[in-house]
Structure 1
Amino acid sequence: MPKPMGRVTHRPWSPPSISDIKWNVDASLDPIRNRSAIGGVLRNFMGIFRCVFSSPIPMMEINSAEVYAIFRAIKISMACEEIKTQSIIIESDSANAVAWSNAGCGGPWNLNFLLNFIRNTAKSHRNIHISHKGRSSNMVADALAKQGLRRENEFLAWM
């Protein structure tokens, strides 16, 4: 039986393999208050939260903010000796941010620093995989990004 038109299919979060950990990242924008924010959640194969962040960032276009969220997840991961050697999956609901991060070059000129860091880290560690997933698999990261719009400073917690 065909699905009704206009109905959104819910695709829940899917766990990584037993040897991987997975970040879901997201960005949020409030054009009325001229604010942007990012958020992310790191989970293991059992879905147990390992780390969360929620942070205000400088005002920027939404795809740029999504790149910033990917960048932040990698920076947090590389600062932790325990996880930086694991295979890390980063999922974003921005197809543009994922494409720019995975490309060998290019993307918006004002994101060169972030994109070069993402690309060089992924290339040198070879254990970072950035992929696009639909919005509905990103509910926790979405909530964390929205919370960041009300924050003055970054919230970062390890579990």
Structure 2
Amino acid sequence: MKDGILRAIFSGPCEGLGAKYAEFQAIKVAMELFIEADWVGKSPLVIESDAKMVLNWISNKFVRLWGWWTILVEIDKLVSKIAKVHFNYVSRQTNVLADYLVKDDMRRKSIFRAWC
């Protein structure tokens, strides 16, 4: 933690349900890490993603697909627990570390999580 900012990185194997599901899982893990690190109420959580459609489904309940309903309800519960969560679109080209972790997931057998 530096200057009151918690930074977290993680990567892990995908369950074979596609890139969108993997993005939902990553967002869910980020929120769980934020709660586990005891940051709720201390600072807002900012989640950056290059998946515009996923961010749209999280933000707008009226455009959600039924196939994603279960994980979106889990994300909604975490959002309500944290209260101050901001979702920002960031292109993959501007985040080299995220791009590397996505590619590294293919070889990873268990989830890697770290924060500082």
- TM-score, scaled relative to structure 1: 0.62
| Alpha-carbon offset, residue 59 of structure 1 | 0.5
Higher RCO by CA contacts (8 Å cutoff, separation 6 or greater): 2
Higher helix share goes to which structure?
2
1:117 aligned partner: 74
1:103 has 2:85 as partner: no
Cα distance in 2 for partners of 1:105, 1:114 equals 15
Q: Counterpart of 1:67 in structure 2: which amino acid?
A: F
SS in 2 for 1:56: coil
Q: Which runs of 5+ in 1 are unaligned?
A: 1-17, 22-43, 45-49
Superposed CA RMSD in Å reads 2.0
1:77 aligned partner: 34
| Alpha-carbon offset, residue 66 of structure 1 | 1.5
Bigger radius of gyration among the two: 1
- TM-score, scaled relative to structure 2: 0.82
Q: Which runs of 5+ in 2 are unaligned?
A: none
1:132 aligned partner: 89
| Alpha-carbon offset, residue 152 of structure 1 | 0.7
Cα distance in 2 for partners of 1:158, 1:109 equals 33
1:54–1:155 CA contact under 8 A, matched in 2: yes
